[in-house]
Amino acid sequence: MNVRESVGIALQALRANKLRSTLTLLGVIIGVASVIAVVSLVQGLNQYVTNQLTASGSNVFSIDKYGIVFDNDTFRERGKRRDLSSEDAAAIARSGAHVEAAVAQLTAGATVRRRSRSLQRVTVRGVEPDYMLVNDLPIGHGRPIGEADERGRAAVCVLGAEVAEQMFQSLDPVGGEVRVGSLKMVVVGVGERKGSAFGASQDLYVLVPFSIFEQMYGRNRSVEINVRSRGQESFNQAQDEARAILRAKRHVRPGEPDDFEIVTPDMVLDLWKNLSGAIFIVIIGVSAISLVVGGIVIMNIMLVSVTERTREIGVRKALGARRRDIRTQFLIEAITLSAVGGLIGLALGGFIALVLGLLTPLPVYVSPEAVALGLVSSSLVGIFFGAYPAVRAARQDPIEALRYE
Amino acid sequence: MLIHMRDLHRVYELGAEKVHALAGVDLDIERNEYVAIMGPSGSGKSTLMNIIGCLDTPTRGSYVLKEQEIGTLSDDELARIRNQEIGFVFQTFNLLARADALHNVELPLVYAGIRHEERRRRAREALELVGLGDRMKHRPNELSGGQRQRVAIARALVNKPSIILADEPTGNLDTATGEDIMASFERIWQQGNTVILVTHEADIAKHAHRAVRMRDGRIESDVRTPITTAARP
Ligand SMILES: Nc1ncnc2c1ncn2[C@@H]1O[C@H](COP(=O)(O)OP(=O)(O)O)[C@@H](O)[C@H]1O
Ligand SMILES: [Mg+2]
């Protein structure tokens, strides 16, 4: 069959009436554009989240009372568990053969002030001396919180780079004073700048000694324990050790479930992947609907075309076209239509992805998979919705068709 | 024997009513005959032409074309015979409006599965043969009626069929142009082709060497006029 001829006829028809063609292909264009944009965006987000979660090192996990909770009942249930304490963290650090370090931390929000400047809702963390080691948070300037600060309940702090900048501008913060909540503290160091994640700055924090945090906010709170394993290969063993140590310490009987939760970056990543997968499915569903609508429009146009060209079909049959020749011809025309829509959609979707990439910190890029998905889905629309008109065309009786006015 | 028909029937069923468009036709046509099929409107001429051209199959009876029984063939086999053995010329030309003369003439070769360059060459040849060598890139609406019918004739000839079938080929043309077209058929016949044409005009029919008259789906008379030696090459 003459593919070039069929493609040519379809393109000619498209060119002949640009407005009608655009409207005809709108469904396919929107469908493919949204497929491309969404796939690119989700891939970009996945990349971004993976980068963020593994930034502090993939061999760090945390333990707390709640873990990842989605419903109120579970939250309330877990709230009744015994609190975790800095002694628990110390026990893990002491007895875990595969544990490099384990620290307890507590978190609160506070306003940070210096002279007339103030910054609200800054995360204040009460941290133990190994905190920066465990969480791979290097000091940019000055020194970290040390053993002596902890023991002496020193009113000292390490500022996040953003807090330091807001409070001190171009001045050197180290040695300066800030007010955290109601307490005056001496700045001993500034954390290295981390930039922003999920649209929020990661440099808006104040680290204070764990002991002074307890003094500021009270003692009876459950801590979050951060544990770093000795290496990637001992990550699972370190978890097992931490679990065993805590169960023994908290008298959990064999066979009973843990009364604490271990959260690893992989779990958070999985959670994210489930979530983004759900978003993905919803939006792909919407794209699919517009592809189907686009397909129905193409089917309609093709049916009109088959009727208009009944006589042409009769002539072709008289000259020796078999059913399959006619079928192929109309199918190629339908596929050409939807593929043109697909290409326009591809360009549009790629453009949207590009703009998203420029406007957000997400590493959005149009992947070959997204392009393939867009083109394959639009071609499938052509094949699926072109099939019925093509079969109708092929079935025409040659004599009836030749007599058609 | 090129065409051999015995007791051929074609019955159309319109609801309960049955129309016997052909009611027992016996007809033999030899290679290189020039036959005119005549008769009043509704006598079954077009029905007979459609069956000869394998666009339609008989309800009953036998039609043997080149030793092959047509009645039992599948759609695809009929298409192949139309492609290889039959060249149609229609009253209304039936050219593809969007395609130029060259492409129109190429079409039978497309369905014959012939390669592009070969198609082009043969289509050009056929157009030159009907005197349209300078009109190849013209579309039908840029051609006169006579030129259009010549394009159609070139298209009918291009795949070297066994039979040229023309149903009222001059019906849409003025007398002078009609004579022109008839001269083309004369030439085609002289080159050894078999020509069968339907007409109700005696002037046109006299170009042929055999006149088959139909009435009510039957052959009423079948008269051969001796071929003058002058007509043969
Ligand atoms: N598709 C059809 N359905 C029903 N009747 C038909 C059909 N085609 C032709 N006929 C009838 O068959 C008879 C012969 O028609 P046709 O072969 O077209 O005659 P002619 O070409 O000699 O005018 C007519 O009575 C016509 O009405
Ligand atoms: Mg007729």
Q: Which ligand number lies closest to the CA of residue A403?
A: 1
Task: Check A318 against B53: CB less than 8 A apart.
Answer: yes
Three-state SS at A57: coil
**Parallel, antiparallel, or unpaired for β B163-167 and B86-89?**
parallel
**Across residues A285-299, what is the average pLDDT?**
90
Rounded to the nearest 5 degrees, what angle is found at the Cα of B203, between the Cα atoms of B198 and B209? 65
Q: How many CB atoms lie within 10 A of CB A257?
A: 7
Any domain includes B232: no
Helix (DSSP H) and strand (DSSP E) numbers for chain B: 7, 10
Please report the residues numbered 165 through 204 in chain A whose beta carbons come closer than 8 angstroms to any beta carbon of chain B.
Answer: none
Q: Which domain holds residue B105?
A: 3-65+73-224
* Residue in A1, A12, A14, A319 to test binding to B, most B beta-carbons within 10 Å: A319
Percent of all residues in chain A with a pLDDT value above 70, rounded to a whole number: 98
Domain range list for chain A: 3-52+270-403, 82-259
Q: How many domains does chain B have?
A: 1
For residue B88, give the nearest of A311, A318, A321 by CB distance.
Answer: A318
Q: Is the pLDDT of residue B231 over 80?
A: no
Mean pLDDT of chain A: 88
pLDDT for A57: 63
Mean pLDDT of chain B: 92
Any domain includes B138: yes
Measured between CB atoms, does B79 come within 8 Å of chain A? yes
| CA dist list (Å): B36 to A85, A114, B4, B171, B209 | 111, 112, 17, 14, 8
**Across residues A223-244, what is the average pLDDT?**
91
Task: Check B82 against A318: CB less than 8 A apart.
Answer: yes
Kindly state if the Cβ of B21 falls inside 6 Å of ligand 1. yes
Measured between CB atoms, does A321 come within 8 Å of chain B? yes
Q: What is the pLDDT of residues B120-157, one digit of tens each?
A: 999 999 999 999 999 999 999 999 999 999 999 999 99
Average the pLDDT over each of A172-176, A370-374, B9-13, B157-161 and give the range with the smallest value. A370-374
- What residues contact A285, with CB distance under 8 A and at least 6 apart? none
pLDDT for B232: 47
For residue A323, give the nearest of B56, B76, B103 by CB distance.
Answer: B76
pLDDT for B233: 46
pLDDT for B25: 96
Any domain includes B45: yes
Q: What is the pLDDT of residues A83-120, one digit of tens each?
A: 999 899 999 999 989 999 999 999 999 999 998 899 98
Banded pLDDT at A141 (limits 50, 70, 90):
confident
**Across residues A247-266, what is the average pLDDT?**
90
- CATH code of B186's domain: 3.40.50.300
pLDDT for A199: 66
For residue A320, give the nearest of B50, B56, B111 by CB distance.
Answer: B111
pLDDT for B229: 46
Percent of all residues in chain B with a pLDDT value above 90, rounded to a whole number: 86
Q: What is the pLDDT of residues B90-124, one digit of tens each?
A: 999 999 998 899 999 999 999 999 998 999 999 99
Candidates A339, A331, A312, A335; CA nearest to A387 is A331
Q: What is the pLDDT of residues A163-194, one digit of tens each?
A: 999 999 889 999 999 999 889 999 999 999 88
The CA distance from A36 to A139, in Å, is 41
Atom 4 (ligand 1) nearest CA: B12
Any domain includes B133: yes
Candidates A57, A67, A102, A65; CA nearest to A225 is A102
